[in-house]
Amino acid sequence: MNKLQLAEPGTADEMLVRKLDLNALPGHIAIIMDGNGRWARSHGQTRVEGHRAGVASVRDTIEASAQLGLEVLTLYAFSVENWKRPRYEVWTLMNLLKEFLLKELEGLVKNDIRLKILGRWRELDPSVVSLIERAESETADCGGLQLNIAINYSGRAEIVDACRQIVADWAQGKGTDIDEETLGRYLYTAGQPDPDLLIRTSGEMRVSNFLLWQISYTEIFVTETLWPDFRRGQLFEAILEYQSRVRRFGGLSEDAERDLQDNQSG
Ligand code: FPP
């Protein structure tokens, strides 16, 4: 991958790119895109205009992730809980998703990006379902970035759906023992690595029912930036912060390991 592709020469983004270690990138980045409403209010606009502005951030984040050569990018676009929002806001969000699936499909194929929608998307309006089916099937053979978009998604519902499918398979005599590996194979993200980095915009310190199973050992990065202001520069900042973290997966820190060895040899 060529660093030059990632940012305009002489820009702040280029300075960040220079600092990135391209051999230690997170394989999977998941993002909770938050703050569209607050962005709209601060610009004297309506909430739906905030969501519309957020689409440009979605585009730039996908493009930069593909250029970086990330394995998986997962974006949280619409939760099961989001149905509680005003009808017009829900309608606009569904239309933005439809527009995205229509307008971006060609670009996804051209850039070798495989799309998968996570969530109970088959319960959505038939017009959305058919666009999803088409986009998933036309990108199925793409071998570059795996782009997941979570729509009508809930982390708890995902685990419930996995359990229901396991029970259905048992009923058909296809039962296996349940362990963590088996359950992982029944999740919407089956076959994909767990997120290494979870980014949340707008400063909120919540997980919001997102990828509950998959984020057990994910590094979390919260930025004050509101989603419509998020661009590749903020993505690079998050990755830089990630690269400064020491991941222990429940094991000992290097200091604790050294203390232990000193005590044993002393
Ligand atoms: C949260 O901000 C954002 C959402 C619920 C929707 C995210 C959707 C988009 C960015 C656009 C469409 C997506 C795609 C993939 C085309 P909020 O409304 O909760 O913000 P607030 O907390 O400031 O009110």
At 101-121, the pLDDT tens digits run 999 999 999 999 999 999 999
Q: Each residue of 60-73: pLDDT tens digit?
A: 999 999 999 999 99
59 lines ligand 1 (CB under 6 A): no
**Looking at the chain, how many residues does it have?**
266
Return the percent helix, strand and coil in the chain, to nearest 5: 50, 15, 35
Query: Which residue lies with its CA nearest to atom 13 of ligand 1?
Result: 77
Q: Is 38 in the pocket of ligand 1 (CB under 6 A)?
A: yes
Q: Residues with catalytic annotation? A: 34, 82
Give, in order, the Cα–Cα distances in Å from 108 to each of 58, 182, 206, 229, 259: 13, 31, 30, 23, 51
Side-chain half-sphere exposure of 58, counting CA atoms within 13 A: 25
DSSP-based three-state secondary structure for 241? helix
Query: In the chain, what percentage of residues exceed pLDDT 90?
Result: 89
Binning pLDDT at 50, 70 and 90, where does residue 254 land?
confident
Question: Is the pLDDT at 265 greater than 90, yes or no?
Answer: no
Q: Does domain 25-245 have CATH number 3.40.50.970?
A: no
SS3 31: strand
Question: Ligand 1 pocket, 237 CB below 6 A?
Answer: no
Domain positions in the chain: 25-245
Atom 5 in ligand 1: residue holding the nearest Cα: 78
Q: Which atom of ligand 1 is nearest to the CA of 204?
A: 22
Is the minimum distance from the CB of 128 to ligand 1 under 6 angstroms? Answer: no
Instruction: Give the pLDDT of residue 4.
Output: 64
Report d(CA 70, CA 181) in Å as an integer.
23
What percentage of residues in the chain have a pLDDT greater than 70?
Answer: 98
Ligand 1 centroid to residue 11 C-alpha, Å = 28
Is 98 a pocket residue for ligand 1 (Cβ < 6 Å)?
Answer: no
pTM over 0.85: yes
pLDDT (0 to 100) of residue 120: 98
Instruction: Give the tens place of pLDDT for each residue, 28-45.
Output: 999 999 999 999 999 999
Ligand 1 closest atom vs CA 39: 23
